């Protein structure tokens, strides 16, 4: 099988983002999580690597 060099690994990126979100949400209460996602929805959903 031929090795392919990727400029962007989408699976690796998705896992990193999921881990960051899990870390952030684990420190929040239920109410804080709900308000966090409401704010995100109002801001519009767009890709973010922060």
Which tens digit of pLDDT belongs to each residue from 1-50? 677 787 889 999 999 999 999 999 999 999 999 998 888 888 776 666 55
The pLDDT, as a whole number, for residue 19 is 96
Residue located via tokens 């690994």? 9
Question: pLDDT value at position 27?
Answer: 94
Q: What is the pTM of this model?
A: 0.60
Q: Which residue has the tokens 């959903």?
A: 45
Residue ranges in the chain assigned as alpha helix (H)? 10-26, 30-43
- Confidence at residue 41, expressed as pLDDT on a 0 to 100 scale: 83
Tell me what pLDDT residue 45 has: 64
Instruction: Read off the tokens for 2.
Output: 């031929």
Closest by CA position to 21, among listed 36, 39, 8, 10: 36
Task: Supply 26's token pair.
Answer: 């684990």
Q: What is the pLDDT of residue 49?
A: 57
Name the one residue in this structure whose structure tokens are 């099988």. Answer: 1
């Amino acid at each position: 099988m031929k090795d392919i060099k990727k400029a962007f690994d989408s699976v690796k990126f998705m896992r990193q983002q999921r881990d960051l979100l899990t870390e952030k949400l684990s420190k929040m209460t239920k109410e804080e999580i709900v308000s966090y996602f409401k704010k995100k929805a109002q801001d519009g959903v767009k890709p973010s690597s922060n």
